[in-house]
Amino acid sequence: MIRAIVVDDEEPARGKLIRWLGSETDIAVAGEYADGLSALQAIGRDSPDVVFLDVQMPGLSGLQVAAQLEVATSPLLVFVTAYDAHALAAFDLGAVDYLLKPYDEERFRRALDRVRERLAAPEHRRSAVLAARRHIGVSERLLVPAGDGLRMIDSAQIHCLEADDNYVHVHTADHSYLLRRTLRDLLQQLGDQRFVRIHKSAAVNIAEIDGLTPLFKGDYELRLRSGRVLRLSRRFTSELFSRTGG
């Protein structure tokens, strides 16, 4: 079965998609959501195969939702919009397809056929996430888990990032958040203007660096203004020094 979720702030628009999806024998509707935060939480929890995602929503737009997803685990995206310019942009962004409101059932079924074709070719599934990031630029905010929900933090508040297998610990001044992401993917989203990698499993906010102490064989002890101490690997010293003028 293909697991699908529907995200649209307009209830009638959600209802139409859910009715049509429900008539398909190979589709299971895993949920419907009216905002981007709820959708992101559901995507992380339920791992749908495809998301029908409204572009224009209050709070997080559909493109902002896409940019927050993990490239390697992202579902397929079908953007839904009432605006021609957004529909064309969505198509250029590498989405499986877009549905321009008001669309009819025949147009919906053509989009669903594209979903089935793309699911049979998984090497092409993830292009929409990277394209959305290129479109909106560096993410100045990051969604992190907070209790049973999600919250948005400014990337400037992040002191450092530490990888742990397929998870990343995101450290701020007073909290640590655990994301199911890879460090490489997270740095691609946050950009390299603010963060620099200091180890294969760690990166720091350049503005939070307080000092360096030489160790041995080219490694350094790196201190953050918070007092946290990390290892700067010889492999990454030249990049750090070029970025900081050291």
- Residues sharing a CB contact under 8 Å with residue 87, sequence separation 6 or more, in sequence order: 55, 79, 81, 98, 99, 100
Average pLDDT score over the chain = 86
- Tally of CB atoms within 10 A around 213: 11
Cα gap 86→182, rounded to integer Å: 30
Low-confidence winner among 55-59, 83-87, 218-222 (lowest mean pLDDT):
83-87
**Which CATH class name applies to 2-136?**
alpha beta
Question: 145-244 in CATH: which number?
Answer: 2.40.50.1020
> Distance from first CA to last CA of the chain, Å, rounded?
55
Cα gap 29→17, rounded to integer Å: 10
Quick: pLDDT tens for 132-187: 766 666 678 887 887 767 788 889 999 999 999 889 999 999 899 998 888 988 89
Domains of the chain by residue range: 2-136, 145-244
Cα gap 227→236, rounded to integer Å: 21
pTM of the model: 0.68
206 has pLDDT over 60: yes
Report residue 216's pLDDT band, with 50, 70 and 90 as the boundaries: confident
pLDDT of residue 90: 59
Angle, vertex CA 69, rays to CA 188 and CA 94, nearest 5: 85
Quick: pLDDT tens for 65-81: 888 888 778 899 998 88
